[in-house]
Amino acid sequence: MTTATPPYRVTPARVLRSEWHKLWTLRSTWINLAATAALTLAMGIGVSAAYDGSGGGGMDTVVFVLLGTQFATINLAVLGILATAGEYSTGQIRATMTAVPRRLPVLWSKAAVLAAAAFPLCLWTNLLTFPLAQAFLGDTDQSASLGDPGVLRGLAGNAAGLTLLTVLALCLGAVTRSVPLAIGAYIGLLMILPEVLTMLPYAFVDDAVDHFPAQALQTLTATDTASPGTALLALALWAAAALAAAATTLRRRDV
């Protein structure tokens, strides 16, 4: 007896294509990415146009120009959280997991699709923001060009860091299955927990905080950092740990 070939077979490529289509058919994706680019650009140009050469405090040039990254870290995190926790809130996750019973390919595909969307956007936004901002900084201590040592690395490092933070946020959404809880956990990890830990009177705590996500991102962005590889590794490990937690949660919990 011959067994009929099933008309539909789940493959990694099909899951990836499905998640890609799902991401780009949402209006919120376009709004979020447009807002991320616009805020980064507007903040960079705005602070540069208003800068009179005083009050810079010795801030690194790329960090100064990319102050809009503060908005990007939240905007992209919301996009990542909606990609996972948003499906639980709407109930769409049931259809997704019914179509892909093994579950984990969905997580890998969501992370890959989100990274493929976030990195080019952040990189091109940074490459556009920097020269436009420098048009106002020519006679100040923040003057620099794309060819200066560390500038291109800082711009690319910032884009890579933001991408890893977006994947981290996606995984928090998968673990908590709640948009508000995931956003709260993300903000707590990036902004609140490091500040609390630095109040402890232990030197090793300060060293550990330097490798927290927000601090590692700033290190990656700076042109004069001595250890960009360490900062990138720290962010990659945070993202990997979050992916492992999300994968474990996805396998063990019912939808």
Task: Per residue of the chain (255 residues), give pLDDT as tens.
Answer: 455 555 567 788 889 999 999 999 989 899 999 999 999 999 999 999 998 877 656 789 999 999 988 889 999 999 999 999 998 888 888 888 888 888 899 999 999 999 999 999 999 999 999 999 999 988 888 888 999 999 999 999 999 999 999 999 999 999 999 999 999 999 999 999 998 988 888 888 888 888 999 999 999 999 887 788 899 999 999 999 999 999 999 888 766
pLDDT of residue 55: 61
pLDDT of residue 200: 84
pLDDT of residue 7: 58
CB 191 within 8 A of CB 214: yes
pLDDT of residue 6: 53
- What the block records as the tokens of 216 is 């590692």
Region at 216 (left for phi over 0; alpha for psi -120 to 50; beta for the rest):
alpha
- What the block records as the tokens of 29 is 């994706």
pLDDT of residue 42: 95
Q: Distance between CA atoms of 38 and 156, rounded to whole angstroms?
A: 18
CB 34 within 8 A of CB 118: no
CB 121 within 8 A of CB 72: no
Q: Distance between CA atoms of 41 and 131, rounded to whole angstroms?
A: 11
User: What is each CA distance from 151 to 128, 131, 135, 214, 252, in whole angstroms?
Assistant: 13, 11, 16, 19, 45
